[in-house]
Amino acid sequence: MGNSNTPTDPDRSLGNRFVPVFGPIVALALFTPLAISLVGLWQRQPGTAMVPAIFAVGVLICGILSLFQGRQAEGEFGWRQLALISGFVLCGLAIWSEIPYIAATSLLIALCFAIVGRRTWSVMLGVWAGSQILAYGVFKYLLGVPIH
Amino acid sequence: MDLLTGHAFSIQNLISLLIGSFCGIIGGAMPGLSTAGTLALLLPFTMNMEPLPAIAILVAAYTGAQYGGSITATLFNTPGAPESAVMTIDGFALSKLGLARKGLLGALWAGLIGGLIGVAFLVFLAPWLAAEALNFGPPEFTALAVLGLTVMASLGRGSAVKGFLAGFFGMFISMIGLDPINGTPRMTLGLGDMIGGVPLIPALIGLFAVSESLRLLLADERKGAVRLANQQRVGFTMSDFVSTLRYVVVGSLVGVFVGVKPGGGATIASWLAYSAARAIAPQKDRQKFGSGALGGLLAPEAADKATVGAALIPLLSLGIPASASGAVILGAFQLHDMIPGPLLFTNQPDLIRDLFLALVLANIAVFAVGRGMIEVLIRVRSLDTGVLGIVILIMSTLGAYAFGGSPWDVLIACLLGAVGYAFQLSGIPLAPVVLGMVIGPLFEINFRRSLLLSHDSFLIFVNRPVSCWLFVLSISLFLIPTVFRFISSRKVR
């Protein structure tokens, strides 16, 4: 239950031997643009850039070492995973771009059900309606969160 | 009398404790949703509350989640959280014998005793530690932050490098935004939203709630109906209580001593408590361990609960969380403009007193709510993890939105959720990321202040005795396990 160590389906997998290095690659990918911006700052204000630079060196060294550790993956990565994570990040970007919350989350819920498999209409509509009531009814109107 | 008229006993606080207990037990019982994830999901709901009920709801949920994890471990052989894994051994064996009710009631008692022992240590140790910490200056706090760094290695689940990677990553992203000394923007990539930095609470929601819901969604399995033997209506009797009391006390003490150490955590405590209980059991009882011994369930449960109070000792007195759940509670303090640490004890002694009382009440509330929920949960036979994952995912986006009312927070939760999922796939622990996000700013501001005080001389860290000892302790904590691992690997060869 909740354990993603399910047998790998070779037809759907995206090179699962690379899964153990996904984490370090993601960390280094996010780190790179930030570190580059730090180089410019170092030339202008070394005091401001000093401590972030220490941590940057730590991320770089540990990230590279982790790439070579080659331990076992703790799950598989296939098309389902890629679709869901891309869809979820796009949902975040859509909300950030001021696309209405109801539209972004409705598409996300539809994508999720496409990935986990169809359930009964009452369950699917219940999840959708529950999420929107919570968002617009409780958070927006009762708690005053400015959800657009 | 003053105690009884304090805020801890207000109706609002008591209701918060009951709600927190209920949500915690349900969250803890959900396989895949960790205690920290449960707390991260609850956190945004406490935004508009008074500080004490807000912290109380989370503390009750923290305590409740520990018990919730044991319920699914006992009934379904499926731990709701890693710290409950050990309870599958004797808990599920009891279920198969039709004695789940007895086991779960016993676990409630063990949890209550363990929780209260943990709180007792918190009440005595935290004020003392906070009083000592009042003498700390920037060099001591820098050394304390470095001590926190060594903890990251122990959170690396066998790989210190991965623990450090996660920790440094958390520290690095905590540096985004304005320089705390001179206000210069840094690493903002030209985005206006980045000037505010990476907010802790959306980051917590992303790392714990989102990444766990993604795992649930992608687990590719629906919880099948686990048919259990018909459960007998056998309760936990006074003779059971007396015969298992020693396991509960030993488990509680193990929980306190492991839980107080940053990075120690409930998982290690529960396994150690199981071993300790087995070691102290009489010969005839020892043979029952693994096939339905009450002591094998109760000792880890007591240890689990004792870690809650113990983990709050470094958090309240020094402002350093000992676990990921502690980091979420720290987030709750920050949400209400409070900074845990020595000054909290001198500036807000009433709040501290009420908080201690709330912790005692939280344990009692979990006992009461848990007692009522056993009869309901014992009838649950199936759980659809796919739908559960979708609900948590949507709740996470809402929770992040509610934190600051800004879509930027939602994007942060989504991005860090994806990062957390990738980290989990690669066996990189998430707790050091949060620890790094808390320690990073603490380290920076005190390190730079120390250098300003000493006119850029690093000797300030060595010349001050407490700072010097903390650095020595940090180096020892890092080196000793490494040396032991090296020696044991040589012996194996």
Residue B261: CB atoms within 10 Å = 18
The closest alpha carbon to A104, from B199, B40, B397, belongs to: B397
- The answer to whether the beta carbons of residues B410 and A104 sit under 8 Å apart is no
- pLDDT higher than threshold 60 for residue B218: yes
- B320 versus A6: the higher-pLDDT residue is B320
- Contacts with B31 from chain A: Cβ below 8 Å: 1-2
pLDDT at A2: 37
B440–A143 CB contact, under 8 Å: no
- pLDDT higher than threshold 90 for residue B71: no
Which pairs with CB-CB distance under 8 Å and at least 24 residues apart come from A99-104? A100/A148, A101/A135, A101/A147, A101/A148, A101/B401, A102/A132, A102/A135, A102/A136
| Residue that has been written with the tokens 């369930």 in this structure | B297
Please give the residue of chain B at the shortest CA–CA distance from A120: B387
Strand partners for B178:
B185
Size of chain A, expressed as the number of residues it contains: 148
As a dihedral over the C-alpha atoms of residue A101, residue B20, residue B104, residue B74, rounded to 10 degrees, the angle is: 30
Q: Which H/E stretch holds residue A101?
A: helix A101-116
pLDDT at B176: 94
Residue B424: pLDDT band with limits 50, 70, 90: confident
pLDDT in tens, B474-487: 888 777 766 766 67
Quote the tokens at residue A98: 């001021």
- The answer to whether the beta carbons of residues B76 and A3 sit under 8 Å apart is no
Rounded mean pLDDT, B16-26: 91
Q: CA B427, CA B156: separation in Å to the nearest integer?
A: 8
The closest alpha carbon to B229, from B98, B422, B67, B367, belongs to: B98
Q: Does B481 touch chain A (CB under 8 A)?
A: no
Rounded mean pLDDT, A89-107: 93
pLDDT at A8: 44
- pLDDT higher than threshold 50 for residue B3: no
Q: CA B387, CA B141: separation in Å to the nearest integer?
A: 45
pLDDT in tens, A19-38: 778 888 989 999 999 999 99
Q: Using CB atoms, which residue from A27, A84, A95 is nearest to B217?
A: A84
- Interface probe, candidates B157, B161, B165, chain A, greatest A C-beta count within 10 A: B165
A23–B215 CB contact, under 8 Å: no
Residue A9: pLDDT band with limits 50, 70, 90: very low
The closest alpha carbon to B225, from B330, B350, B380, belongs to: B380
Q: Helices (H), strands (E): how many in chain A?
A: 5, 0
Please give the residue of chain A at the shortest CA–CA distance from B212: A2
Residue B333: pLDDT band with limits 50, 70, 90: confident
pLDDT at A74: 67
- pLDDT higher than threshold 90 for residue B21: yes
| Residue that has been written with the tokens 């501290």 in this structure | B352
As a dihedral over the C-alpha atoms of residue B390, residue A107, residue A143, residue B393, rounded to 10 degrees, the angle is: 20
For A22, A80, B311, B356, the CA distances from B31, given in Å and listed in that order, are 24, 21, 23, 30
Q: Which residues contact B380 (CB under 8 A, 6 or more apart)?
A: B75
Q: Which of the residue ranges A104-113, B23-32, B33-42 has the most confident prediction, judged by mean pLDDT? A: A104-113
Q: CA B181, CA B196: separation in Å to the nearest integer?
A: 15
User: Which amino acid does the sequence have at B102?
Assistant: K
- pLDDT higher than threshold 90 for residue B338: no
Average pLDDT, chain B: 83
How would you label B55-64 residue by residue, b for 16+ Cβ within 10 Å and e otherwise?
A: bbbbbbbbbb
pTM of the model: 0.77
- pLDDT higher than threshold 70 for residue B154: no
Q: CA B270, CA B218: separation in Å to the nearest integer?
A: 28
Spell out the alpha helix ranges (H) of B336-464: 342-347, 349-377, 385-404, 407-425, 431-453, 460-463
Rounded mean pLDDT, A115-141: 88
Size of chain B, expressed as the number of residues it contains: 493
Residue B227: pLDDT band with limits 50, 70, 90: very low
Average pLDDT, chain A: 83
Strand partners for B383:
B223
pLDDT in tens, B79-105: 666 677 788 888 888 887 888 888 889
Quote the tokens at residue A94: 């859509």
Q: Where are the domains of chain B?
A: 3-458
- Interface probe, candidates B182, B218, B385, chain A, greatest A C-beta count within 10 A: B218
Max CA-CA distance within chain A? 60
**DSSP output for A6-34:** PPP-TTTBS-GGGGGGHHHHHHHHHHHHH
A105–B397 CB contact, under 8 Å: yes
Q: CA B375, CA B432: separation in Å to the nearest integer?
A: 38
- B471 versus B4: the higher-pLDDT residue is B471
Quote the tokens at residue A25: 């690659």
A116–B387 CB contact, under 8 Å: yes
Percent of chain B clearing pLDDT 70 (strictly above): 88
Phi, psi of B177 (to 5 degrees): 115, -155
- The answer to whether the beta carbons of residues B42 and B396 sit under 8 Å apart is no
Residue B177: pLDDT band with limits 50, 70, 90: very high
Residue B231: pLDDT band with limits 50, 70, 90: low
pLDDT at A125: 93
pLDDT in tens, A42-97: 888 888 899 999 999 999 999 999 888 766 666 777 788 888 899 999 999 999 99
pLDDT at B86: 82
Q: Which residues contact B165 (CB under 8 A, 6 or more apart)?
A: A23, A24, A27, A59, A62, A63, A65, A66, B428
- pLDDT higher than threshold 80 for residue B362: yes
Residue B169: CB atoms within 10 Å = 29
- pLDDT higher than threshold 90 for residue B415: yes
Q: Using CB atoms, which residue from A62, A69, A115 is nearest to B168?
A: A62
Q: Does B216 touch chain A (CB under 8 A)?
A: yes
Q: Using CB atoms, which residue from A47, A55, A92 is nearest to B415?
A: A92
- pLDDT higher than threshold 90 for residue B379: no
HSE-CB of A5 using CA atoms within 13 angstroms: 6
The closest alpha carbon to A127, from B201, B298, B213, belongs to: B213
Q: Using CB atoms, which residue from A69, A71, A89 is nearest to B418?
A: A89
Rounded mean pLDDT, B454-462: 89
A63–B418 CB contact, under 8 Å: no
- pLDDT higher than threshold 90 for residue B193: no
Phi, psi of B203 (to 5 degrees): -65, -40
A47–B162 CB contact, under 8 Å: no
- pLDDT higher than threshold 90 for residue A104: yes
User: Which amino acid does the sequence have at B138?
Assistant: P
The region, left, alpha or beta by phi > 0 then psi within -120 to 50, assigned to residue A144 is left
Q: Which residues contact B89 (CB under 8 A, 6 or more apart)?
A: B274, B289, B290, B296
pLDDT at A126: 92
- pLDDT higher than threshold 50 for residue A129: yes
- B122 versus A12: the higher-pLDDT residue is B122
User: Which amino acid does the sequence have at B24?
Assistant: G
- Interface probe, candidates A6, A12, A93, A116, chain B, greatest B C-beta count within 10 A: A116
Percent of chain B clearing pLDDT 90 (strictly above): 19
Please give the residue of chain B at the shortest CA–CA distance from A123: B387
Residue B232: pLDDT band with limits 50, 70, 90: low
Q: Does B408 touch chain A (CB under 8 A)?
A: yes
Residue B406: DSSP 8-state: -
Q: Which residues contact B78 (CB under 8 A, 6 or more apart)?
A: A1, A2, B31, B72, B88, B223
pLDDT at B223: 44
Please give the residue of chain A at the shortest CA–CA distance from B30: A2
B407–A96 CB contact, under 8 Å: yes
Residue A15: CB atoms within 10 Å = 8
The region, left, alpha or beta by phi > 0 then psi within -120 to 50, assigned to residue B319 is left
- pLDDT higher than threshold 60 for residue A15: no
Pairing of strands B177-178, B185-186: antiparallel
- Interface probe, candidates B390, B391, B447, chain A, greatest A C-beta count within 10 A: B390
The region, left, alpha or beta by phi > 0 then psi within -120 to 50, assigned to residue B183 is left
Phi, psi of A74 (to 5 degrees): -105, 25
pLDDT in tens, B289-318: 888 888 999 999 999 889 888 888 888 888
As a whole number of Å, the CA-based R_g of chain B is 22
Please give the residue of chain A at the shortest CA–CA distance from B443: A51
HSE-CB of A89 using CA atoms within 13 angstroms: 12
